[in-house]
Copies of this chain bind each other. A is one copy, B any other.
Amino acid sequence: MPQDVTFDLPFDTPVSDHLEYARARHLRWIWDMGLVRSQAGFEEYRSWDLPQAAARTYPHASAADMVVLMNWFSLAFLFDDQFDASRPDRADRILDVARELIVTPLRPAGSRPRVVCPITVAWAQVWDHLSDGMSLTWRTRFAASWGRFLVAHCEEVDLAARGIAGTLDLDEYTEFRRRTVGIHHSIDAGERSRGFEVPAQVQAHPLMERMRDLAADTIGFMNDIHSFERERRRGDGHNLIAVLHRDRALPWEAAAEEAYRMTNARLTEYLDLESQVPQMCDELTLNEDERHRVQQGVEAIQHWINGNYEWALVSGRYTAAKEGPAVKGSVDDLLAV
């Protein structure tokens, strides 16, 4: 059921012209980098259609950058699947790799990873390209956004490994979800994809901070709704519908409805704040160029909310009826050397 749930989003966002060009190069790359190691892993990965997600969330990227953005998506999503609840002993290795991923953007460009596996080698290569030409301020912001996301992912793995994934109450879960969804760094990457930077004082303004958080909530909740079947299949208790069912004692149908209502409430609050952006620009006495970059920053958020949504409706990642090794965890082990 939940992958069919539709939302009424007031954004009309473009799709990159480079989708097919970049997809072909990207699919070669994941084999070359050892990110897929079997035909079954490749078929499962291809069914997710991450290239479409990248082409929708970063529609203005150049052809060469689009390949790298797809490459980045692949390693992030594939890493996300490396934990398998039936193998709690993998938690320490996942944490080791996550810390390496956190540290990479803090190293000088061109450094080699210290913890070596397909995921870390791929990320070091992607980061060299992704950080190229960006300011220290942007690199600092991206590194912290990315690091906070990976730290939250480690917490999630730890909870699952200890068998207590389903113990967060609704407030704890929504706070947690904002960190695990990984939207802050995804929006940051929007600047790189279009070759601009949001002015530092805007990024530091409470309005922009709150807009980013609300975008993360909206996308995280939508994702929970669309991936509900996949996560139930995988025994993953970190899903808004499951938390509402358990913590608020709601029947499944009512829990799904409440999740839908909560998602729309976050979206409405986001849209309300978005309408206050011109006042913020006045308050900060921004010039024309700075206002233009703020507008592009807002569009980067819209591209993510809408692009992720459009992709999730059709991605094979969230298909309800599924068989095979991907039902439980990842198909290929990507943490071994």
Contact = CB atoms under 8 A, between A and B. Distances in A.
A275 interface: no
Contact of A103 (B147, B158, B204): B147
A199 interface: yes
A103 B99 contact: yes
A137 B204 CA distance: 6
A144 B140 contact: yes
A147 B137 contact: no
- How many copies of this protein are present in the complex? 2
B201 A144 contact: no
Contacts of A285: 285
A337 interface: no
* Main SS at interface, chain A: helix
A114 interface: yes
Interface residues of A, number: 31
A103 B151 contact: yes
A285 B287 CA distance: 11
Contact of A143 (B95, B147, B200): B147
A209 B136 contact: yes
A107 interface: yes
A148 B204 contact: no
Contacts of A200: 137, 200-201, 203-204
A147 B103 CA distance: 7
A116 to B, nearest CB: 14
A222 interface: no
Interface in A192-221: 199-201, 203-204, 209
Interface in A276-290: 285
B106 A148 contact: yes
Contacts of A144: 106, 139-140, 143-144
Contact of A107 (B135, B139, B151): B151
A141 interface: yes
A333 to B, nearest CB: 22
11 contacts: A99-B102, A99-B103, A102-B106, A102-B147, A106-B144, A106-B147, A108-B175, A135-B204, A137-B204, A200-B203, A201-B201
Q: Which 10 pairs across A and B sit closest by C-beta, in order of nearness?
A: A200-B204, A200-B200, A140-B144, A137-B204, A106-B147, A99-B99, A201-B201, A106-B151, A106-B148, A200-B201
